[in-house]
Amino acid sequence: MAEDPLLDVRDLKVEFHTFRGVVHALRGVSFHLHRRETLGLAGETGCGKSVTALAILRLISRPGRISHGQIIFEGRDLLTVGEAEMRRLRGSQISMIMQEPKMSLNPVIRVGDQVAETLLIHDHSLTRGTAKTKAVEMLAGLGIPDARRMAERYPHELSGGMAQRIMIAMMLVTRPKLLIADEPTSALDVTIQAQILAVMKTLIHEIDTAVLLITHDLGVMAETADRVAVMYAGSMVEIGPVRAVLKDPQHPYTQGLLKTIPNAVAPDRPLFSIRGTVPSLLQPPIGCAFAPRCERALDRCRSEVPPRYLLEGGRHVACFLHQGCPEVGTQPEPLVRQNEAGRVSSRMA
Amino acid sequence: MADERRHNGQPLLEVTDLRVHFPVREGLLSRARVVVQAVNGVSLALGRGEVFGLVGESGCGKTTLGRAVVGLAPVLSGQIRFAGGNLIGLTGRAAQERARRIQLIFQDPYSSLHPRKTVRDLVGIGLKLHGLATGYEIDEQVLTILEGVGLGLDHLYRYAHEFSGGQRQRIALARALVLKPELLILDEPTSALDVSVQAQILNLLKELRREFNLTYLFISHNLGVVRYMSQRIGVMYLGHIVEMGPTESIFLRSHHPYTRVLLSALPSLDPDAPSQRQVLSGEPPTPINPPPGCPFAPRCPSVQDICCREKPELRQRGEEPTHLCACHFPISNGK
């Protein structure tokens, strides 16, 4: 009865061949994204979040390569389609917003023309004039004051928040089915961050797109995502509904990560910190990648890679502490309806 | 902890009505000069052993303020006094002595360490330049301080690129602490780090402060971090301190609408109690042409006529005598 997921990533492996050896950036990542769902991808620098995003768009370039796995988008494996077709999909079906808006905009083209260009590339029936009109409408829809004048500006004349709005307009003007947002608000100030998040949420809802939201900010995650996947050292350690994962994390890494955030901690008590450092992906540990830093590691953790166990509420956790629970292969996680997650729909309204 | 500040009458660092303006040329060819008013009349005092957190968004002048204290920004007017002595316009020996007693830790540990020098040279160079140690003594002192920040002998002859972000920030700390400074200006010391590493560095900073009896001016945009670290907080907006007071008082009973907005933007990790973000319209005005009245007036949700004309002064608004706020219509506390 469950509808097929929009995106189904299966056992994806990406490696980078460097002069120091092979960096195993992704070591068998599997997840699903349903239509109209927002999946948050969390984890620290170098855990493979951005590589996952780039791999989905097939933008991994040498010395990197996708060495294994499937990326099934609307029933088709993206790893087998031709480059011309892939180029058509990028921007029209799958779009990506990068962290640094100013680095992703062309500095010598007026921003309105850059938004219009996206439309022109994917819809040859449009004239330059109508594309420009649509672009201006899009900008106005994003709450940009005086959109017509703003469209005539160059990227360097814009603030960071404004540039990110232009990026969002550019990526959503074609109404893609999947939006990948890689740290869309991390480079922005908090008050601007709040504006951008609000705008993004409204627009995502309006055009019914699914979102893969990459962020290291678990607060942003809590407010935006329906489900969250936590990555560590190139693999996925925990995945489940956002409320469950943040309120009652099951993987020791997720538990540690949540405890390290200084928020309302009593200032007299030292902040929890995970001992040690992230392992090198040149020579990843043999067993569970987190075992060397884990306080509850078993002997088995150091020799075997834990499978994913299925927990109540459709959560997956790759940790031997849950052995005894049924193991899962790569079958889809159950669909979390937005209204099941409760506040998502109510906050949208 | 706040008592440490009070029982020792004289503040360690005292900034009075400081103004830092930068003249810039507008456009590539135009000869018209405009002035960026980065810091516009800031006064604050830090007691010995205190941690003072300075928060605000990019461009609010918090970094410039820190740089002015170490003499890296041109002071237009105002006073900076350190342990009773003047800090502005120092030259020669006096400037060098200031450079030892006040140390600056930068945000980006990737660009603040010389790539071609070993850790021993990076950390030891200060001792040599200040003539505090020679030869073998340098190695000894460097090693002691490295152990103090959680590094050791096997790191001594390595280069910065061999270290992770967190370890680099430890090296930067060692480089500062080896000179036995009294005041540390920490400019976003953990913003470039991941949260798990950030926690390690924050804990280390707390330990070091106790161990070496240090005073911190802690600059950050991250309210959670500032709350964890500081005893007092100053909130900056467009070159002004708009609110200042004991940490808990600021967090629980803030009077300024801007502080309220910042606090509401603190992400909540509890999906059942999402943060009630107040979304502000507009962006911070540029410090080139600041508004004549209250700097926050153009974006303030509860702005009145007087706010656009008269600059509100920073003074006590609630019951807490050390909690100051610059607002014509401070939010009273019953929430």
Residue-by-residue pLDDT tens, chain B, 335 positions: 444 444 456 899 999 999 999 888 766 666 667 888 999 999 999 999 999 999 998 888 999 999 999 989 999 999 999 998 898 888 889 999 999 999 999 888 888 899 999 999 999 999 999 999 988 999 999 999 999 998 988 899 999 988 888 899 999 999 999 999 999 999 999 888 888 888 889 999 999 999 999 999 999 988 889 999 999 999 999 999 999 999 999 999 999 999 998 888 777 777 677 667 777 877 777 788 888 899 999 989 889 999 999 999 999 988 889 999 999 999 886 54
> pTM here?
0.83
Q: Of A11-20, A64-73, A184-193, which range is least confident?
A: A184-193
Is the bond preceding residue A63 a cis peptide, omega within 30 degrees?
Answer: yes
- DSSP secondary structure, A18-82, as one string: ETTEEEEEEEEEEEEE-TT-EEEEE--TTSSHHHHHHHHTT---TTEEEEEEEEEETTEETTTS-
Does ipTM come in above 0.90? no
The answer to whether the CB atoms of A261 and B227 lie below 8 A apart is no
pLDDT bucket at A343, cuts 50 / 70 / 90 = very low
* Interval A24-48: pLDDT, tens: 999 999 999 999 999 999 988 888 9
C-beta atoms surrounding A303 within 10 Å:
12
pLDDT at B27: 64
Q: Can you tell me whether residue B324 is helix, strand or coil?
A: strand
The answer to whether the CB atoms of B280 and A257 lie below 8 A apart is no
Query: Residue A260 is nearest to which of B199, B267, B281, comparing CB atoms?
Result: B199
Is A11 within 8 Å of chain B by CB? no
Would you identify the CATH topology of the domain B2-269+289-325? Rossmann fold (3.40.50)
Best B51, B62, B195, B202 member to test A by mutation, with max A CBs in 10 Å, is B195
The answer to whether the CB atoms of A222 and B267 lie below 8 A apart is yes
pLDDT at A344: 37
Looking at chain A, the whole-number percentage of residues with pLDDT higher than 70 is: 92
C-beta atoms surrounding A123 within 10 Å:
13
pLDDT at B29: 65
pLDDT at A318: 93
The pLDDT mean for chain A works out to 86
> Between chain A and chain B, how many beta carbons pairs sit less than 8 Å apart?
118
The answer to whether the CB atoms of B229 and A193 lie below 8 A apart is no
Nearest CA in chain B to A162: B283
Question: Is it the case that residue A337 has pLDDT exceeding 50?
Answer: no
**Which residues of A fall within a CB distance of 8 Å from B265?**
190-191, 193-194
**Positive or negative: CA dihedral A314, A315, A320, A321:** negative
- DSSP secondary structure, A115-164, as one string: HHHHHHHH-TT--HHHHHHHHHHHHHHTT-TTHHHHTTS-GGGS-HHHHH
Give the C-alpha separation, A134 to B285, whole Å.
30
**Which residues of A fall within a CB distance of 8 Å from B107?**
none
Give the C-alpha separation, A238 to A315, whole Å.
7
Query: Residue B261 is nearest to which of A159, A162, A191, comparing CB atoms?
Result: A191
CA distance B165 to chain A (A): 10
Query: Residue A189 is nearest to which of B57, B202, B269, comparing CB atoms?
Result: B57
Question: Is it the case that residue A331 has pLDDT exceeding 70?
Answer: no
pLDDT at A341: 40
Query: Residue B224 is nearest to which of A198, A242, A261, comparing CB atoms?
Result: A261
Question: Is it the case that residue A340 has pLDDT exceeding 70?
Answer: no
Is A158 within 8 Å of chain B by CB? no
Query: Residue A257 is nearest to which of B165, B196, B262, comparing CB atoms?
Result: B196
Give the C-alpha separation, B156 to B161, whole Å.
13
CA distance A214 to chain B (A): 14
* Interval A217-236: pLDDT, tens: 888 888 889 999 999 999 99
Query: Could you state, in order of their start, the residue ranges of all structural domains in chain A?
Result: 7-93+176-348
Q: What is the CATH number of domain A7-93+176-348?
A: 3.40.50.300
Query: Residue A217 is nearest to which of B227, B267, B272, comparing CB atoms?
Result: B267
CA distance A307 to chain B (A): 25
Nearest CA in chain B to A268: B228
Planar angle of CA A7, B195, A204, nearest 5 degrees: 35
Nearest CA in chain B to A144: B282
* Interval A274-330: pLDDT, tens: 887 788 888 888 889 999 999 899 999 999 899 999 998 889 999 999 888 888 864
C-alpha dihedral, A152 to A156 to A159 to A160, nearest 10°: 120
Nearest CA in chain A to B224: A263
Give the C-alpha separation, B110 to A213, whole Å.
27
Ranges of H-type helices in chain B: 2-7, 62-69, 92-101, 119-129, 135-148, 165-177, 195-212, 223-229, 247-252, 257-264, 305-309
The answer to whether the CB atoms of B202 and A262 lie below 8 A apart is yes
Average pLDDT over residues A84-101: 90
Please say whether the beta carbons of B201 and B149 come within 8 A.
Answer: no
* Interval A152-168: pLDDT, tens: 999 988 888 888 889 99
* DSSP-assigned letter for residue A108: T
The answer to whether the CB atoms of B265 and A194 lie below 8 A apart is yes
